[in-house]
Amino acid sequence: MYVLDDGGDLTHCIYKKYPNVFKYIKGIVEESVTGVHRLYQLSKAGKLCVPAMNVNDSVTKQKFDNLYCCRESILDGLKRTTDVMFGGKQVVVCGYGEVGKGCCAALKALGSIVYVTEIDPICALQACMDGFRVVKLSQVIRHVDIVITCTGNKNVVGREYLDRMKNGCIVCNMGHSNTEIDVASLHTPELTWEHVRPQVDHVIWPDGKKIILLAEGRLLNLSCSTVPTFVLSITATTQALALIELYNATEGRYKQDVYLLPKKMGKNRKKRQDIRSKI
Ligand code: NAD
């Protein structure tokens, strides 16, 4: 039996609730950034009890899904939900990884003024070299028209930032699941929610200020736009290849660790740590 996971939730659930099932599991194939991160944490803690394949870091998945797909679907998602004109708009993109790079490139191409926030110095440098202003969220939050999260992190846009946004600011998430914007903090008695249409809500402050929250903080492109079947096909195929590799591997070839796909199946992205060590 093998686990085919996207986000690490199934793996997490088995670890927490049904650890005995691992007796029958021969390996895990994980597709997402966050799920892979969790697997590396388990491995580091010595708690990973089967081999796991990191599909996310294969270039076929990483580029077509995270970078190129998001470069197209960010605009599609924003247009379908808000009809906003991008030229001249001030946008802040949180996170300049693959998804962030795609979002920034698309918005810049349509004439938006794009700011980037980053916690990784190499990614911050890349954003800078690509012509984006690297800022702290607190520096720009009062005047931006659109806020986009793509970090894979939790509560990147918390209530303190939501309180300071200007009237009409559009807020959406392109990163992990529904965790990047602290939507729960907006469910308080002093704020009014106005459901405009599916996937679009106005959240209104007592002074009349409103923000436009898309997909209630869930992934904008998966909730509000189309994802090309070509991309879905590429990611599913890469996962299938990883499963076949685990299934066909000779006894002992893969130990209780996280592995990248063998080169013949998909070139792997160079780990950021490796790049850093060369600077
Ligand atoms: P990545 O690791 O390449 O990039 C994430 C970046 O965010 C990193 O550079 C990191 O330093 C930065 N970051 C982390 N916390 C931050 C914070 N608090 N403030 C600013 N920057 C911060 O990952 P990626 O491939 O870009 O994926 C990002 C997220 O998007 C993941 O959760 C992934 O699962 C998800 N994803 C979404 C889609 C989609 O269709 N919307 C597609 C692929 C991946």
Tell me, using a 6 A CB cutoff, whether residue 155 lines ligand 1. Answer: no
Tell me, using a 6 A CB cutoff, whether residue 65 lines ligand 1. Answer: yes
* Matching residue, tokens 């879905």: 232
Query: For ligand 1, atom 3, which residue shows the shortest CA distance?
Result: 97
Among 9, 40, 62, 66, residue to substitute to test ligand 1 (most atoms within 8 Å of Cβ): 66
| Statement: residue 73 has pLDDT above 50 | yes
| Statement: residue 183 has pLDDT above 80 | yes
Query: For ligand 1, atom 8, which residue shows the shortest CA distance?
Result: 97
How many Å lie between the centroid of ligand 1 and the Cα of residue 16?
26
What pLDDT sits at residue 273? Answer: 45
How many Å lie between the centroid of ligand 1 and the Cα of residue 148?
11
Q: What is the pLDDT of residues 209-221, one digit of tens each?
A: 999 999 999 999 9
What pLDDT sits at residue 188? Answer: 97
Tell me, using a 6 A CB cutoff, whether residue 152 lines ligand 1. Answer: yes
Reported pTM: 0.89
How many Å lie between the centroid of ligand 1 and the Cα of residue 1?
30
How many Å lie between the centroid of ligand 1 and the Cα of residue 88?
25
Tell me, using a 6 A CB cutoff, whether residue 120 lines ligand 1. Answer: yes
How many Å lie between the centroid of ligand 1 and the Cα of residue 105?
15
| Statement: residue 181 has pLDDT above 70 | yes
Q: What is the pLDDT of residues 114-135, one digit of tens each?
A: 999 999 999 999 999 999 999 9
